[in-house]
Amino acid sequence: MEADSDHSAPDELDTRLERIAEALIFAAESPVTPERIAGACEAVTGLAPDTGVVADAVEQLNARYEESGSALRVETWSGGYRMATSERFAPYLEAFFEKEKRTTLSRSLMETVAIIAYRQPVTRPEIEFVRGVSADYAVGKLLDMDLVDVVGRSDALGRPMLYGTTDLFLDQFGLSDLDDLPNLRELEELLDDPDFSDEKAELFMEADLEERMDEEEEAPAGEPSTNGKA
């Protein structure tokens, strides 16, 4: 195989960019951003294509795949590109693998990771307020599974740690980014938990947890609290 010239002309690079992008995306273990593709080109040729040019090359690559009936395609994932199989071959893949291999979570872990996903960054006391039980085990288990991670510390008293979801969370749940999170109705169906009430779901996306916690502390003993519990 001939080595690439360090002085390739821009036009020559443009004609080869589609194949360069294809090779990099195929070989990478994680999504490849347009910037990384441009950086690899610059490292070899001394020329860095614009990220828009890289995006055009990927579109041309997908067009070639589609025209030839290829089983492959490039999809956008977590801000980058990754190689995937065409949806036309999904039934064959499902039959081959028998069942989709995904991390199995208990309902308590699902509820905890949902709270973190919708409210991130969120502290452990906030998680426990929503769930009504200790979150020590659930948060620890999710950390071990690399579905959540510590993303900072809160300015609240004691500076508790803040938790957020990881790229593995997106991958396991088939999400491109957090904007793809299911709506509340879909989330309740996903959890299929009778204790997962509309009130809890609303807390994930809308409620001000700190304000509710203050109201809990100020409520006279024996009177119903603002979250509907005595």
Over the stretch 116-140, which tens digit does the pLDDT of each residue have?
998 889 999 999 998 888 888 999 9
Contacts of 132 (CB under 8 A, 6+ apart): 229
Q: Structural domains in the chain?
A: 10-97 (1.10.10.10), 107-218 (1.10.10.10)
Q: What is the mean pLDDT of residues 50-71?
A: 94
Q: Say what the pLDDT of residue 62 is.
A: 95
Q: Residue 185 is inside which H or E element, if any?
A: helix 184-191
Q: Say what the pLDDT of residue 79 is.
A: 85
216, HSE (Cβ side, Cα atoms, 13 Å) = 14
Question: What's the CA gap between 163 and 178, in Å, rounded?
Answer: 15
* Cα radius of gyration rounded to whole Å, the chain: 24
The residue with greater pLDDT, 118 or 224, is 118
Residue-averaged pLDDT of the chain = 77
- Could you give the percent of the chain with pLDDT greater than 90? 38
Q: What is the mean pLDDT of residues 45-63?
A: 93
Residue among 124, 151, 121, 144 nearest 135 (CA):
124
Highest mean pLDDT among 62-76, 96-110, 129-143, 201-215 belongs to 62-76
Question: What's the CA gap between 167 and 148, in Å, rounded?
Answer: 9
Q: Say what the pLDDT of residue 161 is.
A: 93
Q: Say what the pLDDT of residue 187 is.
A: 62
Q: Say what the pLDDT of residue 153 is.
A: 92
Question: What are the φ and ψ backbone dihedral angles of 165, each rounded to 5 degrees?
Answer: -85, 165
